[in-house]
Amino acid sequence: MEQTPLEPAASAAAALARGDLVGLPTETVYGLGADATQPEAVAKIYAAKGRPHFNPLISHVASLEAAEALGVFSPLARKMAHAFWPGPLSLVVPRQRDCAVCDLACAGLDTLALRVPSHPLMQEVLRAFGKPVAAPSANISGRPSPTTADHVRAEFGDKLALVLDGGPSAVGLESAVVAVSGDQATLLRLGGLTREALEAVVGPLLTADASAKAAPASPGMILRHYAPQAPVRLNATSAQPGEVMIGFGSGYEGAAFNLSPTGELTEAAANLFAMLRAADALSPAAIVIAPVPKTGLGEAIADRLARAADRSC
Ligand code: TXA
Ligand code: MG
């Protein structure tokens, strides 16, 4: 008798339960997902990405209720979750004593990062699976994050059981990562939620010293990251022969790419990683990028661009 094919979300949940790796769409960027409770499955993430084991993963769940079974939420953490979940915010909180997320996913720390994503297909997967899904961005460590299913396939080929196609990621930047300890909130990573939006809810945020490369408060904040193969030159207004220009706003009519011809930062964020990848695919002498204002989402865009351009490590 022929079996009825599973719905995509159910297939993904079944693959996760088997301990396989799955490419998953989220509103920020695509994730490389595995069952966060199975160390063998989580180990496959580190191996596939070439990710250092000291860099912990974000566990994704369907709801705040599911998150509270894993992490300890102070009133401030709960307030932030209510304000921004589902959405592009990861909260780093103390682990519950009986936290089901394996030590490997937390890199041995006594805190863990939790996120409730809003992408409807990802929500379906999380509800069908019923357990936390560890998922870093689905790129080889140090490369630009993927914002389409094709990016994920290009990066990992047939190493994945399946890649669920949920269309281009609407936000295009990874989640903002905020550590909450009691009534203190520290911004560990800028992301697809602006500092202003966060501070409107929680007041002034503390900022982690990510420049302390030896032991940054968020182990993922090593400088070189998001980097294409080609060198990247920032704040440029024109390209030399052999270089590829990524413009922003008006005045870049001859440029190969423009993050947002109308100068909108949300559009620029959504286009950023895809354009870095597309520019890189042309094997240029350099990718040159127009100035982008550092206000609102521009702050996180500037952070990603600075890391893409860094050649120091
Ligand atoms: O939007 C996103 O956050 C995407 C999608 C797939 O959800 N995921 C993502 O994961 O960007 P990843 O692994 O690329 O980045 C996770 C960041 C890293 O900088 C990591 O060091 C930090 O979160 N992190 C995770 N757990 C932590 C912890 N317990 N304490 C401090 N930082 C933590
Ligand atoms: Mg990443």
How many angstroms separate the CA atoms of 61 and 126, rounded?
6
With contact defined as beta carbons under 8 Å apart, do 155 and 140 qualify? Answer: yes
Record the pTM: 0.93
Element containing residue 178 per DSSP (H, E): strand 176-181
pLDDT of residue 219: 65
Can you identify the CATH homologous superfamily of domain 232-309?
A: Threonylcarbamoyl-AMP synthase, C-terminal domain (3.40.50.11030)
**What residues flank ligand 1, with Cβ below 6 Å?**
26, 28-29, 31, 55-58, 90, 92, 106, 109, 111-113, 115, 135-137, 174-175, 177, 188-189, 218-221
Q: Cα(285) to centroid of ligand 2, in Å?
A: 25
pLDDT of residue 6: 77
Which residues of the chain does CATH 3.40.50.11030 include?
232-309
Ligand located closest to 140 CA: 2
Above pLDDT 70, what percent of the chain?
Answer: 93
Mean pLDDT of 231-241: 95
The number of residues in the chain equals: 313
Mean pLDDT of 125-133: 98
pLDDT of residue 200: 97
Whether pLDDT at 158 is above 60: yes
Q: Which CATH class is domain 8-207?
A: alpha beta
- Give me the torsion for CA of 90, 121, 137, 69, rounded to 10°: 40
Which residues 6+ apart lie within 8 Å of 234 measured at CB? 289, 291, 305, 306, 309
Instruction: Give the pLDDT band of residue 277 (cuts 50, 70, 90).
Output: very high
Instruction: Give the pLDDT band of residue 1 (cuts 50, 70, 90).
Output: low
pLDDT of residue 221: 59
Mean pLDDT of 123-149: 96
